[in-house]
Amino acid sequence: MAERIREEKKRERVDSLDNWKLEDDKFIVKRYRFKDFLKGVEFVNKVAEYSEEIQHHPFISIDYKMVTMKLTSWSAKGLTELDIKCAGKYDEFYNQMD
């Protein structure tokens, strides 16, 4: 089981990410905007494939051109380094899209 990030390090780890926000002290959340609906769906499919590979799944919401990602680690009852890693990977996927 992944170890939860200590309280004194949590803000520092979240601040190291690009525009991710801490929510309810145990989730990180980011909204991604796309030029059209299908680009957002394409992004979600990339995230879904990666999530299946590593067996760590985000909450995903698609609202037309806006995709919201929300991460936490249930087994650790909060944020872990795996959540931080996934957030960075999702940002990579987004930045690779045209």
52-70 pLDDT, tens digit per residue, is 999 999 999 999 999 999 9
Residue 1 within any structural domain of the chain: no
Determine, yes or no, domain membership for 69. yes
Tally the domains of the chain.
1
Determine, yes or no, domain membership for 2: no
pTM, full prediction: 0.94
Query: Is residue 77 situated within a structural domain?
Result: yes
Domain range spanning residue 22? Answer: 7-96
Mean pLDDT of all residues in the chain?
96
| Whole-number CA gyration radius for the chain | 13
Query: With bands split at pLDDT 50, 70 and 90, how would you rate the model's confidence at 2?
Result: confident
d(CA 64, CA 25): 28
| CATH number for the domain harbouring residue 45 | 3.30.1360.20
Q: Report d(CA 98, CA 28) in Å as an integer.
A: 25
Name the residue among 47, 78, 74 with its Cα closest to residue 60.
Answer: 47
